[in-house]
Amino acid sequence: MREQGARQRTITRRAAAGVGLASVISALSGYSILVIAARTLGPARNADFLVFWALLFGMFGIVSGLQQETTRSVRSADLGPLTVQRPVHVLPVGLLVGVAAAVVVGATSGAWSTHSLGPSSWPLVVTLCLAVPASAGSSAVYGALSGQRSWHAYSALVSSEAIVRLVLVALVAFSGAKGRGLEVASAAAAAVWIVFILVSPPGRRAAHATGDSNRAQFLKRTGQAMVAAASSAVLVVGFPVLLRLTSSDVEWITAAPLLLAISLTRAPLLIPLNAYQGVAITHFIAERGRGIAVLLRPACAILAVGALGSAAAYLIGPFIMTAFFGPAYQVSALLLAGLTLAAACLALLTLTGSAVLATGRHKAYAIGWFLSSVASVALLMIDLPLASRSVLSLSVGPMLGIAIHLSALSWVPRRRPAQQEAGVGSDVESNPD
């Protein structure tokens, strides 16, 4: 059975289309929520919502290191004989990781919550502390579904979470609820996976999935993956928080258009790439003997999309900003083009990181992301206008991490593993789901 599975493709065309559709739904959900917030809230209040949005998905991004390691561990366990007597059950351990992360969030909130979320921010801190364990459970289920190649179920869960989040936010906004309702609604959708594993057979299989290591090994590797994920979260979704912490009050008053532009220009590249990250890791595990060569085609695709997207952002981006979000959100064409190119750099860093993680080089994976975030933060400290240093930070920092990841991949022996899966395209799938 294993040998037969080893000859089969990582993902079929139909399943790949399903993951793609799920990423589109997720992107549209995120865009729609940003439109609702911008239309419902004034620019100053919307800037506060965008900071919470960045914090929420930044924390979700940190625990997503659990998803990446779960994907690698579950897939490796399926491909080869286990060398441990008590393989880890990924979901219970993932929930423990989430609870530990929530404790850290609550314990440190006094140092950052007031400056980031404003006075009387404790309800939002409580919301974050509840959402983080829910997201950790979601990450474990996503990772197990990817490792088991249950792509249809994976797509269904991605779509369900995005749709539920949009519906909750829309209900709060259109009901005219005051206070922090939009923030709570955004966070509540992280618990959708609980219903999913109750009603879905593939979800229940994922909930019982085991990895290729024992609990201690899994936690160590997950910790390294979460260091990288934390650095990734800083750059990908937590960047508005960094801007808030490195900006004066005068700069921040007019920052909402820039924050929205950063979110909008990166979503077309990063949301699909994140949706396919489980597919990428699963594929790179099968192709890990090829070294850097495995990145050639996807890297060229990212660069091409980035170039086309940058041109489109320059030509029509300013019109889209004002048409959808109102005249208060005017942004220059050059800034939108620069932010789109910066998003391509982040996408390349995500891609190279997935390839490094698939080879089992967790330390190089973490170092690449960590040094990228350090460089990006340092560049935010230079004396330039807020928009200029944002583009510089989001472009140069990721380039450093890409160089580190490529260096690690260059040391991978060029050999084909004994058991190897192929890439996208077969109509055969080992898991009928």
CA distances from 342 to 238, 300, 307, 332, 390 (A): 15, 16, 11, 16, 9
Is the residue at 303 inside a domain?
yes
- Tell me the pLDDT band of 420, cut-offs 50, 70 and 90: very low
- The verdict on residue 258 lying in a domain is yes
Residue 427 included in any domain: no
- Name the residue among 64, 34, 30 with its Cα closest to residue 268: 30
Residue 146 is assigned to a structural domain of this protein: yes
| C-alpha to C-alpha distances, 237 to 42, 343, 384, nearest whole angstrom | 22, 11, 22
Interval 156-190: pLDDT, tens? 999 999 999 999 999 999 887 666 889 999 999 99
Mean pLDDT for all residues in the chain: 84
The single-letter code of the amino acid at 239 is: F
Q: Which range marks the domain in which residue 48 is found?
A: 2-410
Q: Is residue 416, in this structure, part of any structural domain at all?
A: no
Q: Determine, yes or no, domain membership for 62.
A: yes
pLDDT confidence bin for 62, thresholds 50/70/90: confident
User: What per-residue confidence (pLDDT) applies to 412?
Assistant: 57
The total number of residues written for the chain in this structure = 433
DSSP state of 142: H
Specify whether the CB–CB gap between 335 and 387 falls below 8 A: yes
pLDDT at 120 over 80: no
pLDDT at position 210 over 60: yes
**Total count of domains within the chain:** 1
Over residues 212-245, the pLDDT tens digits come to 888 998 999 898 888 888 887 777 777 877 887 7
| Residue at 195 is within a domain | yes
| 344 inside domain | yes
d(CA 214, CA 370): 26
pLDDT band for position 291 (cuts 50, 70, 90): low
How many angstroms separate the CA atoms of 184 and 165, rounded?
10
